[in-house]
Amino acid sequence: MSVPASLPAPTDDALLVLFANGDRDAARELTLRLTPRAYGVAVRVLGDRAEAEDVAQEAMMRLWRMSPDWQPGNAKVSTWLYRVVLNLCLDIKRRRRGTMAALDEVPEPVDPGKGVVEGMQDSARAGALQRALMQLPDRQRQAVVLRHMEELSNPEIAGIMQISTEAVESLTARGKRALATALAGRRRELGYEDG
Amino acid sequence: MKMAETDKDFKDLDLLFAETRQSEGQMPEGLFRRIVADGEQVQAGFAAAAAARGQAHGQGMWSQFVTVLGGWPTLGGLAAACAAGVWIGLAPPSFLPDPAELVLGGNAQMDLIGLDELIAALAEEG
Output DSSP code: residue A85. H
B67, pLDDT greater than 60: no
CA dihedral A52, A53, A56, A59 (to 10 degrees): -90
Domain total in chain B? 1
Residue A163 belongs to a domain with what CATH number? 1.10.10.10
* Chain B residues contacting A via beta carbons under 8 Å: 1-4, 9-10, 12-17, 19-21, 23-28, 31-32, 34-36, 38-40, 42-43, 46-47
Q: Is A101 found in the same domain as A163?
A: no
A114 pLDDT tier (thresholds 50, 70, 90): very low
Whether A103 and A116 map to the same domain: the answer is no
Query: Do residues A167 and A91 share a domain?
Result: no
Name the minimum distance, in Å, from the CA of B20 to any CA of chain A.
6
The domain spanning residue A33 has which CATH number? 1.10.1740.10
Domain that holds residue A39: 1-107
Does residue B22 sit within a domain?
Answer: no
The rounded distance, in Å, linking the Cα atoms of B62 and A65 is 32
Would you state the pLDDT for residue B72?
55
Contact residues on chain A for B20, CB-CB shorter than 8 A: 125-126, 129, 149
Query: In terms of domains, do A118 and A183 share one?
Result: yes
Mean pLDDT score of chain A, rounded to an integer?
85
Q: Which of A70, A177, A190 to mutate to probe the B interface, most B CBs <10 Å? A: A177
Q: Same domain for A176 and A85?
A: no
**pLDDT: is B50 or A122 the higher one?**
B50
Give the containing element (helix H, strand E) for B121: helix B115-125
Whether A127 and A106 have beta carbons less than 8 Å apart is answered as: yes
In this complex, do B20 and A149 lie within 8 Å of one another by their Cβ atoms?
yes
**Can you tell me the distance from the alpha carbon of A76 to that of A15, in angstroms, rounded to the nearest whole number?**
12
Count: domains in chain A: 2
Domain membership flag for residue B45 = yes
In a domain, residue B76? The reply is: yes
